[in-house]
C-alpha cells in the first residue's frame, strides 16, 4: 500500500517549531527591553534627585564635588564629558565657621558656621545623594544633637567632624553608618571610650585625633 501523504505535507510541522523559537526569543527581547527601560527610568530619577539635592545644599561656600564613572571606552564614544548615567555627587564640604568668602559680583562676607538646626535642614538633600562618600563638617557649630541627622548616609566612607562640640554621646549615633571607614575627631570632646564603642561596631575604622 502506498501513502497518499506527500513529502511536502510531512514537513508542515517545521514552521510551528520556528514559530515557537521565535516567540521565546521575542519574550526574552521584550523582557530585556523592559528591564533596561526600568533601569534607565530609575537612574533618570536618581540623577534628577541628585541635581536638585546638590542645588539645595550648595549654599554660599559649600563645595559639591561630582564623580564621573563613565567607562573609558564609552567616553571615547560620547566625549570626555562622560554620560550622566555614571555621574553622582561623591563629596560635600561645608565651609568652616567664620570663613571669608568673596562674591562674584563684588563684596565679601564672613560665614556663620553650620549648627544642628542647619544640618537638620540639609538632612533630606544629603540623603538623596545616593553615592555620597565623603562629608567635611570641620570647624563648625555642631553638637551631639546634630549627629542623628547623619545616620541615613548609607554610602558615607569618610567623615570629618574635627573642631566641633561632639562627645561620646553624639558619636554613638554614627554606629548606623554601615560604610564608614575613616573619621576625623581632632578638636572634639570624644574620649577613648567613645572611640572604642564605635570601633566595636566598625573594627577597621580609622580615627584621626
Question: What pLDDT digit, counting tens, does each position of 82-105 carry?
Answer: 777 788 999 999 999 888 777 777
122 has pLDDT over 90:
yes
Query: Whole-angstrom Cα distance, residue 76 to residue 70?
Result: 10
Helix axes 116-127, 13-57, angle to 10 degrees: 160
CATH number, domain 46-208, options 3.65.10.10, 3.40.50.720, 3.80.10.10, 1.10.10.10: 3.80.10.10
Mean pLDDT, the chain, rounded, equals: 86
Question: DSSP 3-state assignment of 208?
Answer: strand
Long-range own/partner contacts, residues 26-33 (CB < 8 A, 24 or more apart): none
Residue 74 near residue 34, CB atoms below 8 Å: no
pLDDT in tens, 34-92: 777 776 677 778 788 888 989 999 877 899 999 988 888 877 787 878 777 788 999 99
Which of 5-9, 37-41, 200-204 shows the lowest mean pLDDT across its residues? Answer: 5-9
Query: Whole-angstrom Cα distance, residue 187 to residue 195?
Result: 14
Q: What is the pLDDT of residue 4?
A: 57
- Measured at the CA of 135, the angle between CA 132 and CA 65, to 5 degrees, comes to 60
Q: What is the pLDDT of residue 133?
A: 97
Cell of 110: 564672613
pLDDT in tens, 173-193: 999 999 999 999 999 999 999
Q: What is the pLDDT of residue 58?
A: 84
Amino acid at each position: 500500500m502506498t501513502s497518499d501523504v506527500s513529502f511536502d505535507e510531512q514537513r508542515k510541522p517545521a514552521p510551528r517549531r520556528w514559530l515557537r523559537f521565535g516567540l521565546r526569543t521575542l519574550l526574552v527581547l521584550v523582557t530585556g527591553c523592559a528591564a533596561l527601560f526600568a533601569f534607565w527610568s530609575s537612574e533618570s530619577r536618581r540623577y534628577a534627585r541628585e541635581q536638585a539635592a546638590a542645588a539645595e545644599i550648595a549654599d554660599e561656600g559649600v563645595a559639591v564635588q561630582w564623580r564621573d564613572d563613565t567607562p573609558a571606552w564609552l567616553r571615547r564614544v560620547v566625549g570626555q564629558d562622560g554620560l550622566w548615567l555614571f555621574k553622582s555627587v561623591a563629596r560635600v564640604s561645608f565651609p568652616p565657621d567664620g570663613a571669608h568668602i568673596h562674591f562674584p559680583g563684588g563684596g565679601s562676607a564672613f560665614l556663620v558656621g553650620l549648627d544642628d538646626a542647619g544640618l537638620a535642614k540639609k538632612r533630606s538633600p544629603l540623603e538623596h545623594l545616593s553615592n555620597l562618600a565623603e562629608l567635611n563638617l570641620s570647624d563648625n557649630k555642631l553638637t551631639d544633637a546634630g549627629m542623628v541627622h547623619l545616620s541615613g548616609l548609607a554610602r558615607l566612607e569618610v567623615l570629618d567632624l574635627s573642631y566641633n562640640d561632639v562627645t561620646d554621646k553624639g558619636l554613638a549615633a554614627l554606629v548606623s553608618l554601615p560604610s564608614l571607614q575613616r573619621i576625623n575627631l581632632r578638636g572634639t570632646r570624644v574620649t577613648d571610650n567613645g572611640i572604642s564603642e564605635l570601633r566595636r561596631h566598625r573594627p577597621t575604622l580609622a580615627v584621626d585625633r
